[in-house]
Amino acid sequence: MKKAMRLIFWLILIGILLLLFSSHVIAQDDYERQRQELVGVIKEHVASTRDFLQQETLDQRIFNVLGKVPRHAFVPRNQRSFAYENRPLPIGHGQTISQPYIVAIMTDLLKPKPGDKVLEIGTGSGYQAAILAELVDSVYSIEIIEALAEQAADNLKQSGYQNVHTRIGDGYYGWESAAPFDGIVVTAVASHIPPPLIKQLKPGGRMIIPVGAPFMTQYLVLLTKAADGSITTRQILPVSFVPLTGAH
């Protein structure tokens, strides 16, 4: 009788484990499908805004990475069913994870290369950092909200990203000890382009930053630094970002 009970117990346990494993596989397959569908939606949005972008499409590497990085791993559990919709989502503390289309064009405008070192201001949940980590050598990311910074670091670690360095701090002042950077991406709106960030950008580098007033007109701005240190800027398209906060 005891042997029979033990056998039944192990059969039930194996059945539960198989069910859990198959559910996990199905969920991962569904996320993969949703990511590919999202890439298609982003391509349509890029085509419809090509006049703003002054280009017909994005670098195919950007689409490949968007189809690979698990956005659901960078949103709260209660938002995971919406993870692959093309819209921002709340991540707590009054912050959001950016719309995938915006992540795509900001990444593309940065023109990331395999050997690059990139600075991100506003880690949020870590999603933009993960996208960049697939395309460059190293990412340095600063988040001013301690709880978000800690959660983002955990999200990135759990997702296997070893080339992202995170810290808590005021992003306005950049990360001087790690400068200079080949590219800088700012994921919060500022009233002006912070001079410390311009200083920390390499000659030949690019910075993408939303500029304007919170809850008013904002534009995504591309800043490029020439070899002689001179600066040029170009407004790309209207956007809506949460404000860059800090003592500045």
CB 65 within 8 A of CB 134: yes
The residue whose two tokens read 């005021």 is 170
Closest CA to 119 of 187, 61, 213, 189: 187
| Helix intervals (H) in 73-133 | 100-110, 127-133
- C-alpha–C-alpha distance, residues 163 and 161, integer Å: 6
Coil, strand, or helix at residue 46?
A: helix
Among 98, 125, 138, 141, the active-site one is 98
pTM, to two decimals: 0.86
Q: What does the pLDDT profile of the chain (248 residues) look like in tens digits?
A: 556 666 565 555 555 544 444 444 445 679 999 999 999 999 999 999 999 999 999 999 999 999 999 999 999 999 999 999 999 999 999 899 999 999 999 999 999 999 999 999 999 999 999 999 999 999 999 999 999 999 999 999 999 999 999 999 999 999 999 999 999 999 999 999 999 999 999 999 999 999 998 777 899 999 999 999 999 999 999 999 988 888 76
Q: Which residue from 237, 110, 131, 135 is spatially nearest to 186, judged by alpha carbons?
A: 110
Closest by CA position to 244, among listed 76, 98, 139, 95: 95
Rounded CA separation 108/111 (Å): 5
Q: 122 with 188: CB under 8 angstroms?
A: yes
197 contacts 179 by C-beta, under 8 angstroms: no
Whole-number Cα distances in Å, 140 to 102, 155, 198: 20, 15, 16
Contacts of 248 (CB under 8 A, 6+ apart): 170, 172, 173, 194
Query: Which of the four CATH numbers 3.40.50.720, 3.40.50.10420, 3.40.50.150, 3.60.90.10 does domain 30-238 have?
Result: 3.40.50.150
Q: Is 230 noted as a catalytic residue in this protein?
A: no
Residue 193, token pair as written in the block:
């382009």
Query: Peptide bond before 180: cis, by omega within 30 degrees of 0?
Result: yes
Cα 150 to chain centroid, rounded: 16
Q: CA-to-CA distance for 178 and 69, rounded, in angstroms?
A: 26
